[in-house]
Amino acid sequence: MKKVLSFAAIVVMIVGFGCDQSNQIVTDMELGRDMLNGSGNLNAAVGHLEKAKEVEENPTEARTLLVIAYYYGLSTGDARALGEESTYKSKGKDLVSSLSKTEIQAILDRLLEHRRYHKAAMDTIVASGQKGVSVLLGAVSSPLYAKIQSEVEEMLIRIGMQDASSIVEALSSSSMSKARKMEIVRVIAKIKNSDAKEQLVDFRSNVNGALKVEVEATLYQLGTTEYRSELIAGLSATDVETRRVATRAMLMINMSPTDKIIKAAKDQDVQVRLHAMNALAKYPAKPALAPILEAVFGDPDTGVKQAATAAAIEHISKGYGKGLAKQLVGKIKDLENPDDRLRVVKLMRTDRIRNQIKINKFENLEYQIYEYMDKEENNEMVKRELNHLLNDLEPSS
């Protein structure tokens, strides 16, 4: 009897479970989300999201996905193909104008997911205009949005090209960190909206140190070239952060002060030396080659060595490396680190140094290279690059 009752109970449970499953309802919100996230019919996704927007107790997700869907259809051309282009434009414009800051923040958060509508979500935030600025400024330099910093910057630039005033105004906030303000000032420089100059000049008068130099660098890029002397003066500032900003600014100023940048290239701070090498690469000058080579051979930082190698190549291509081939062939024998030797080989493989090796018959530099490769070099990668160099030196048939 007990067995019969147990079996009956199991049957009731199974039937009951089946009924519960069949009674479950898939909502318009779920359907719209799945269709937009996946590869479902866009018009159907929009239809479900439009319904969800009206019936959901908290319509934030429905509203944000719906406005993204409108802009996705417009950006991909799907709206035109569906014959809905004018409808999507009109509804998208109306909805984006009604978005709250919380909803714009939700759209920004969706960018972290890198869905297929990534660009459309960016377009939506840009379309929100000045309302989106505060949300984007809050994401600048934030570790929460580290993966999408380039997108945050792009959206600020796109909005700022139309009106940068609110971006500049935000710099006056006492709650904003100095580091974030400096990042925003750099973004303003990329916006290249000259309407921001007057506000920036006013802001500059109330700040000092690295932030002041950052503002001066931006003003210089916006055409206020009288700040050139202030930027150069920043190279010798006692504050290392100011020197970093000033040295990076040397990449953009006219009539580069080579002697002062050479001095910066020997700074104790790695970032200052790195920026100095980048500046010397952009504006080659004969006096700079020797200190650049010193960095290639002996700087303690690998990044600086790499930048110095690039700078050396630029100088060599300008013809400043006369007689350098002999020095490089001798130097490679003295360097213990194989990565350093690889950098020297990279310099030797430039057209001008190869030509010097070829014409220096008296000291037979080519044979010296071969002998060193054959008898002394023990690193296979360096040997391979030296072999490529020797092949380059072979007379063409």
Q: What are the pLDDT digits (tens) for 332-347?
A: 999 999 999 999 999 9
Which pLDDT value is given to residue 254?
Answer: 86
Q: Taking residues 144-172, report their average pLDDT.
A: 96
- Burial of 195: CB neighbours in 10 Å, binned 0-12, 13-18, 19+: middle
Q: Is the pLDDT of residue 167 over 80?
A: yes
Q: Given its phi and psi angles, is residue 253 left (phi above 0), alpha (psi -120 to 50 degrees) or beta?
A: beta
Which pLDDT value is given to residue 10?
Answer: 45
Q: Is the pLDDT of residue 34 over 50?
A: yes
C-alpha to C-alpha distance for 85 and 207, rounded to whole angstroms:
49
Which pLDDT value is given to residue 304?
Answer: 98
C-alpha to C-alpha distance for 245 and 217, rounded to whole angstroms:
8
Q: Is the pLDDT of residue 363 over 90?
A: no
Closest listed residue to residue 224, CA positions, set 197, 204, 256, 254: 197
Which pLDDT value is given to residue 144?
Answer: 96
With tokens 């937009």, the residue in question is 36
70: how many CB neighbours lie within 10 A of its CB?
29
How far is Cα of residue 397 from the mean position of the Cα atoms in its chain? Answer: 45
Instruction: State phi, psi for 303 to the nearest 5 degrees.
Output: -60, -40
Q: Taking residues 254-275, report their average pLDDT.
A: 96
C-alpha to C-alpha distance for 316 and 347, rounded to whole angstroms:
8
C-alpha to C-alpha distance for 182 and 204, rounded to whole angstroms:
12
* 354-370 burial code (b ≥16 CB/10 A, e <16): bebbeebeeeebbebbb
Q: Which 8-state DSSP code applies to residue 396?
A: P
Q: Which 8-state DSSP code applies to residue 349?
A: T
Q: Is the pLDDT of residue 241 over 50?
A: yes
Percentage above 70 pLDDT, the chain: 93
Percentage above 90 pLDDT, the chain: 88
Q: Is the pLDDT of residue 187 over 90?
A: yes
C-alpha to C-alpha distance for 261 and 281, rounded to whole angstroms:
11
How far is Cα of residue 89 from the mean position of the Cα atoms in its chain? Answer: 31
Q: Which 8-state DSSP code applies to residue 31?
A: H
Closest listed residue to residue 42, CA positions, set 86, 88, 90: 88
C-alpha to C-alpha distance for 117 and 193, rounded to whole angstroms:
29
What token pair was written down for 212? 């002041």
C-alpha to C-alpha distance for 277 and 266, rounded to whole angstroms:
10
Which pLDDT value is given to residue 25?
Answer: 85
Tens-digit pLDDT profile for residues 54-106: 999 999 999 999 999 999 999 999 999 999 999 999 999 999 999 999 999 99
144: how many CB neighbours lie within 10 A of its CB?
11
C-alpha to C-alpha distance for 238 and 291, rounded to whole angstroms:
22
C-alpha to C-alpha distance for 312 and 372, rounded to whole angstroms:
23
Tens-digit pLDDT profile for residues 295-327: 999 999 999 999 999 999 999 999 999 999 999
135: how many CB neighbours lie within 10 A of its CB?
21
Q: Is the pLDDT of residue 11 over 50?
A: no
HEC secondary structure over 34-76:
HHHHCCCCHHHHHHHHHHHHHHCCCCHHHHHHHHHHHHHHHHH
- Burial of 237: CB neighbours in 10 Å, binned 0-12, 13-18, 19+: middle
C-alpha to C-alpha distance for 218 and 268, rounded to whole angstroms:
26
The C-alpha angle with vertex 234 and arms to 314 and 257, in degrees rounded to 5, equals: 35
Model confidence at 12, in pLDDT bands (50, 70, 90)? very low
Q: Is the pLDDT of residue 137 over 90?
A: yes
Model confidence at 396, in pLDDT bands (50, 70, 90)? low
Q: Taking residues 381-393, report their average pLDDT.
A: 95
387: how many CB neighbours lie within 10 A of its CB?
14
Alpha helix (H) residue ranges in 100-227: 101-110, 118-127, 130-139, 149-160, 165-169, 178-191, 197-204, 209-221
In angstroms, the first-to-last Cα distance of the chain is 102
* 170 close to 182: Cβ distance less than 8 angstroms: no
DSSP string spanning 354-379? HHHHHH-TTTTHHHHHHHHHHHT---
